[in-house]
Amino acid sequence: MSEHPTSGQAAETTRAIYTGDQPNPILHFLQRPRIMLLLLAAWSILSVLAQVFTKSGLFLDAHDIELDGALGGFALGFEGIPLAAVYIYAFRDPHQHRPVFILALIHMAAMAASQVYHLGTGDFSFESVAIPLFGSAGLGALVFLHLFSPREHEAVAAKAG
């Protein structure tokens, strides 16, 4: 008697089991240059939205806070707009604009460092910096892996040449 009794249907079914030998399909998808550029652009636009909607509990709840000082306006400088524009521009041909990923790595490291700094000084609570900190660190790790892992298209070109 067989282990898989048939009842008028195909005796065998195809199952995909992830064993760890193959690359993680989700990580492999997220490491595609255009997907990373879209994620980076969306993250930069989200940072701009957080600066625009200052009376929102979701973004920045600045109900009684007043930005003061001669250079206090720099805190809401919309620096995410040019960064998002660069990421969207590089989306056309990510392989030609590879240095944009170095910029992205610096951007994500600076964003994560700023969250750690504000958490350390007590400016914001952990709940306020958790999503920006982990989001920036995650995107930075994704970009880091992309920059410093062997690239498939270079391996294929080396075999052909």
What is the secondary structure of 34-80 as a DSSP string? HHHHHHHHHHHHHHHHHHH-TB-SSS-B-SS----STTGGGGG--TH
User: What average pLDDT does the chain have?
Assistant: 82
What's the rounded Cα separation, in Å, for the pair 99 and 89?
A: 13
Q: What is the pLDDT of residue 157?
A: 46
CA 108 centroid distance within chain? 8
Run of H or E including 32: none
Q: What's the pTM value of the predicted model, to 2 decimals? A: 0.74
Torsional sign, CA 17, 23, 26, 32:
negative
pLDDT at 4 over 90: no
Specify the higher pLDDT residue, 43 or 28.
Answer: 43
Q: How sure is the predictor about 14, in pLDDT bands with cuts at 50, 70 and 90?
A: confident
pLDDT digits (tens, 9 = 90+) for 83-122: 999 999 999 999 999 999 999 999 999 999 999 999 999 8
pLDDT at 155 over 60: no
